[in-house]
Structure 1
């Protein structure tokens, strides 16, 4: 039986969160549906909402605040910083881990989220042009100033996690990870050993859960969907894992959250675990 909750940034959180990235903020009817979905997620027991400045360049954070402020007790709203919009750049954006930019983004996030403190602020990407210790140090200083409660990282290696921890305490890591995509296996292990929450984004491989023969077989055995099986595997993979599946569909939201009640047998878990072998991908 998987543990239903985990201590994250001082919150006793339910181990299935919600990623708000996919929620449309316009036009008005789509925005209203997004607000309703966020409220439904909280009503169904979700206690972690993940957003970021990058998602709509602040529009997603404003959407979360419109839907959920004043925030219910026990709800952790996590956001991310460190990506700067550059319209003239080929990618439209660049990583920016400078102190000036990180400080400005924290102030902007506080305003958009209508908060006095960001309880979990995550560095969206490490800026390769600036020492990681400097970027972590800015976040540590902001934490000391009371603007940040806890610090998280995103898309980091185990070595980068260890390096950042030499500068400040790290509460969470958010990397791409699912039963078919195990590039960051060592990071999950490092987080478990250190008691750091691991929030896998893209917790269900795009299209993969529906095409994997093994996942489909186990879904039939359990009377579940492939998505639910993939999420159940993550929950059992490590007690520090908190998947944050995102959707704009109320039906899919309910389906995702039902995965917490799905129990994999040892044999089913091992069959899924073996999907990480190259010949089984």
Structure 2
């Protein structure tokens, strides 16, 4: 397993891939989830991602399931001290706001942030979260929560020792930059990681705003200009759409431009003796701004396929073909 530093020179050491546990305890049963976590740890994986709302839209689920299951695994394996844990505030449904998602999410006011971290720590059974994401300022802007309030509340978690590194999830680049500048101007800890949707295929142009913010050239340029900021990618394998003929790409990627990229992707995979999923992951990890993929796997076999991408090296010609397709 390869490793790197999260959020610049003073962050924790993390594995080069992160294991997403969002489905664990809801659509992935505990035995399978434990097998995946065990396999990840055996391979040298140290970085896992959960949230306080995982699975909340699954019938019968509450959103607690992923954190509770991960907490049980950490205790049963005595793995808390060697596992970097990421969790999230801001996207959990609040019954007081009605039932229309995403308008019913709890937001990032000071009280909501404090309540969210305290509840996550209880579910996880730990004293500190290594990386804590503020999920989507866009949802809070409409509710009138000042950015200063959110920045100060998050900084307070670092000051109190309940969070080591702060991250942003689902933020547009201008909002990420504004929050970081605000924190720096006040001498407060700011965002040192950002997690966005990012895959090899590009979304169709002219799409209406989506609740999931896409990694674009603006964000890549911003990350390149700020070496202390780590970029993490979710949705990298599009839920299996690269590999499964019965599962077409999501509509946002279903356009003529994707045809050429999929063709080159298949050609490079054949040349490397690799799967298309492995080439996508290698392309992300080996680019000018290396990315940490967050793996959303549902079986140990899927995890093994992804981990093999760590040793896949694309030569400059292959990367140029992929980039320009």
TM-score, normalised relative to structure 2: 0.77
Determine if the alignment matches structure 1 residue 184 to structure 2 residue 215.
yes
Task: State the shift of 1:25 in Å.
Answer: 3.9
Aligned ranges for residues 223-262 of structure 1 at < 5 Å? Answer: 223-262=273-312
Give how far 1:13 is off. 1.5
User: How many angstroms apart in 2 are the aligned matches of 1:71 and 1:169?
Assistant: 28
The counterpart of 2:151, out of the listed 110, 133, 136, is 136
After superposition, give the CA deviation of every residue in 1:143-162 in whole Å (9 maximum; x if it has no partner): 11112111000011221121
**Residue 40 (structure 1) aligns with:** 39
The alpha-carbon distance between structure 1 residues 86 and 72, as it changes in their structure 2 partners (threshold 3 A), is closer
How many Å apart are 1:244 and its aligned residue?
0.9
Separation in 1, partners of 2:160, 2:202: 38
Give how far 1:73 is off.
4.0
Structure 2: tracts of 5 or more residues without a match:
56-62, 184-188, 204-213, 244-258
**Structure 1 counterpart of 2:68:** 62
Distance 1:98 1:18 in 2: 28
Q: How many Å separate the matches in 2 of 1:73 and 1:152?
A: 21
User: Quick check: 1:209–1:230 contact (8 Å CA) kept in 2?
Assistant: no
Which blocks of at least 5 consecutive residues in structure 1 are unaligned? 276-281
Residue matched to 2:193? 172
Correspondences of 1:1-281 after superposition (within 5 Å): 4-8=2-6, 10-25=11-26, 30-56=29-55, 57-69=63-75, 70-87=78-95, 88-91=98-101, 93-126=104-137, 127-128=140-141, 129=143, 130-166=145-181, 167=183, 168-181=189-202, 183-185=214-216, 186-195=218-227, 196-206=229-239, 208-210=241-243, 212-275=262-325
- Tell me how far apart the structure 1 counterparts of residues 41 and 89 of structure 2 sit (CA, whole Å): 24
Instruction: For residue 286 of structure 2, give the secondary structure of its aligned residue in structure 1.
Output: helix
Deviations 1:187-216 (A, max 9, x none): 133123212111101112345534711111
Check whether the contact 1:23–1:247 (CA below 8 A) recurs between aligned residues. Answer: no
In the alignment, is the contact (CA less than 8 A) between 1:180 and 1:205 conserved in 2?
Answer: no
More deviation, 204-213/230-239:
204-213
Q: Secondary structure at the match of 2:164?
A: strand
Secondary structure of 1:120's counterpart equals: strand
Contact 2:224–2:289 (8 Å) recurs in 1? yes
Partner residue in 1 for 2:246: none
Name the CA distance, whole Å, in 2 between partners of 1:169 and 1:97: 15
Structure 1's consecutive aligned runs of 4 or more residues displaced over 3 angstroms after TM superposition are 24-27, 205-208
Q: Deviations over 1:85-105 (max 9, x none)?
A: 245422273241111111001
Matched residues in 1 for 2:322 and 2:225: separation?
Answer: 23
**When the two structures are aligned, how many residues end up with a matched partner?**
271
User: 2:209: which partner in 1?
Assistant: none
**Separation in 2, partners of 1:228, 1:254:** 10
- Tell me the equivalent position of 2:60: none
SS at match of 2:295: coil
TM-score between the two structures when normalised by the length of structure 1: 0.89
